[in-house]
Amino acid sequence: MIRPRRFSGRDPSTLRFPVPKGGPWAAPPSRRPRARRMASGGRLLVASNRLPLRLTGGAEDGWSCSPATGGLVTALEPVLRRRGGTWVGWPGCPDAGQEALAQAAPALVGGAPYGLRAVSLNREEEHCFYQGFSNQVLWPLLHGFSALCDPDPEYWRSYREVNRRFAERLAEVAGGGGTVWVHDYHLMLVARELRELGVDGPLSFFLHTPFPPGELLESVSCGHALVEGLLHYDLVGFQTEQDQAHFVDAVRRIHPEALSEAGGGVELTFGDRRVRTGAFPISIDFKEFFGAAHNPVVMGMAWDLRRRLGDRSLLLGVDRLDYSKGIPQKLRGFRRVLRRHPELRGRMVLKQLVIPSRDGIPAYRATKVEIEGLVRAINQEFADLDSPPVEYQYGSWDRMELLAHYREADVALVTPLNDGMNLVAKEYVASNGGGGVLILSQGAGAAWELGREALIVDPGDPDAVARAIVEAHSMPLRERRRRMTSAQAVVRSRDVHRWVEGFLSRTPRMA
């Protein structure tokens, strides 16, 4: 099996983060804790920046809501639906709080067996905490794009404040009971804040993104506070063993006193608490995708799609707009196939859906411009074909349409440069009719599980992407079916409910 490589081709020592150590990045001074207990077990209390819905509008004209997009929501929503509990998060719009949620949410989550609790952000916090520290410092740092970091000290201040607010909300909602499970890079300091509020019960954290090499964290000023923040949790979970190893390495470099060698492994202890770590590859509700792909409406849509394709193969790309998703590189790979293989022109179409995301951030707007320029250029270059080789859509498909595409696509091109997991890869496998080929990046967490079944590529190398497209196109049906059946067995046996059980079974219990 080809092992995925992360942060390929980048020398971490060159990924500098130009902010002086200490200063505004230093952790806040300790406040005197009031003793509070939060028991583990029982009710599930989940905190993430994103709730499963997104509000728009305002108090005056009324709020409306739509489902939120993204892997975190796809994975967690069926878990909360099955187990119940409370989901604490930001409703996705400045100044929207619990009242707005109560007004707008019944339309979407009516009857959902879990509660939603809002953490409201004002416009400045949306700018500094969400767009700023979370998505212009942490996101590029965690994905190996440090050159894109915009280290404004205001962002850090806001990040700490909002983490504090999440902690307060959690302490209030928990009211002394429940299993507290915090998610993702937006909320790395919540446990630290909860400890300062006097909470001493078990706290767990799962990181949905990759975790970069320890030397990178060591080289940036905020790295110290972030690693320390994570050590306040009792269980810190990662997508892959590599991410977990990077974290342990970061602790070794930044907080060596927290690390001890024991029985051939390492143990982390912070203060008088043991800190557990683990790799828990996130997944999807396999049965839900598999079943929905057999829904007669979806099958009808898939049939219609095939009819419109004629004898052309369908190559599918579904990505949130993000520079980490490698969309321009994928387009260049496809162009290379068309340039080098005249016999394949008019025989395949690449349908690329780009889901709008973080469009207030310059690097995202630049990525969109680059993608659209490439799509135009490719379609112009091959304008003599009966139909354009790239069908590009910037927007959203409804669930049925997405499933019909997964079902019918001959090839899925999932080629992020670096991605925590990439659930689109697993959704494609679960929903495909059986003859599809998955081309998967070595930089996606999913490559650790699907490395034998997929065609693994270096996403930054258009030649490698082009070779994989040609190989997939010419792969005998029997081989395609064998690979897809085996991939489905992998995703079926490691679905999101197993992920939750695995994680929660490692969550420490109250002493």
Which residues are tagged catalytic?
208, 419
DSSP state of 129: I
Given candidates 89, 420, 436, 443, which one binds ligand F6P under the rule CB under 6 A?
420
Residue 212 is a binding residue for ligand F6P (CB under 6 A): no
Interface mask (CB under 6 A) for ligand F6P, residues 3-42, using x and -? ----------------------------------------
Q: How far apart are CA 343 and CA 340, in angstroms?
A: 9
Judged by beta carbon, residue 50 or residue 407, the one nearer ligand F6P is 50
Choose the stretch contacting ligand F6P; rule: CB under 6 A; options: 69-77, 103-111, 255-263, 455-463. Answer: 69-77
CB 458 → ligand F6P: shortest distance, Å?
A: 22
Q: Which does 184 bind (CB under 5 to 8 A by kind): ligand ADP, ligand F6P, none?
A: ligand F6P
Per the listing, tokens 């049965």 go with: 287
Residue 358 is a binding residue for ligand F6P (CB under 6 A): yes
Given candidates 10, 44, 53, 71, which one binds ligand F6P under the rule CB under 6 A?
71
Judged by beta carbon, residue 194 or residue 424, the one nearer ligand ADP is 424
CB 355 → ligand ADP: shortest distance, Å?
A: 5
Residues engaged in binding ligand ADP (CB under 6 A):
67, 69-71, 74, 318, 320, 355, 396-397, 402, 421-424, 427
Q: Are strands 265-270 and 348-355 parallel, antiparallel or unpaired?
A: unpaired
For the chain, how many helices (H) and strands (E)? 20, 17
Q: What is the DSSP string of 38-82?
A: ---SSSEEEEEEE-SEEEEEETTTEEEEEEPPSHHHHHHHHHHHH
CB 198 → ligand ADP: shortest distance, Å?
A: 34
Residue 320 is a binding residue for ligand F6P (CB under 6 A): yes
Give the 3-state secondary structure of residue 143.
coil
Choose the stretch contacting ligand F6P; rule: CB under 6 A; options: 68-76, 163-171, 267-275, 470-478. Answer: 68-76
Burial 390-408 (b: 16+ CB within 10 A, else e): bebeeeeeeebebbbbbbb
Q: How far apart are CA 358 and CA 322, in angstroms?
A: 8
Given candidates 208, 253, 325, 426, which one binds ligand F6P under the rule CB under 6 A?
208
Shortest-Cβ-distance residue relative to ligand ADP: 71
**3-state SS string for 335-357:** HHHHHHCHHHCCCEEEEEEEECC
Choose the stretch contacting ligand F6P; rule: CB under 6 A; options: 5-13, 66-74, 121-129, 328-336. Answer: 66-74
Given candidates 50, 164, 232, 407, which one binds ligand F6P under the rule CB under 6 A?
50
Distance of CA 28 to the CA centre of its chain: 29
CA-to-CA dists, residue 117 to 309, 373, 509, angstroms:
45, 42, 24
CB 504 → ligand F6P: shortest distance, Å?
A: 19
Given candidates 15, 72, 118, 484, which one binds ligand F6P under the rule CB under 6 A?
72
CB 421 → ligand ADP: shortest distance, Å?
A: 6
Q: Please, which contacts does 130-138 make with residues 24 or more away whose CB atoms are closer than 8 Å? A: 130/49, 130/90, 130/186, 131/358, 131/360, 131/361, 132/158, 132/159, 133/158, 133/159, 134/49, 134/159, 134/185, 134/186, 135/358, 135/361, 136/361, 136/363, 137/222, 138/185, 138/186, 138/188, 138/226
Length of the chain: 511
Question: What are the residues facing 441 on neighbouring strands?
Answer: 457
Cβ-based neighbour number of residue 195 at 10 Å = 20
CB 428 → ligand ADP: shortest distance, Å?
A: 10
Q: Quick one: the chain helix, strand, coil %, rounded to 5?
A: 50, 20, 35
Judged by beta carbon, residue 127 or residue 341, the one nearer ligand F6P is 127
Choose the stretch contacting ligand F6P; rule: CB under 6 A; options: 2-10, 67-75, 100-108, 283-291. Answer: 67-75
Q: How far apart are CA 407 and CA 306, in angstroms?
A: 10
Residue 325 is a binding residue for ligand F6P (CB under 6 A): no
Q: Which does 423 bind (CB under 5 to 8 A by kind): ligand ADP, ligand F6P, none?
A: ligand ADP
Judged by beta carbon, residue 209 or residue 283, the one nearer ligand F6P is 209
Q: Closest Cα to residue 327, out of 335, 56, 400?
A: 335
Contact residues: ligand F6P, CB under 6 A:
50, 70-72, 184, 208-209, 320, 357-358, 420
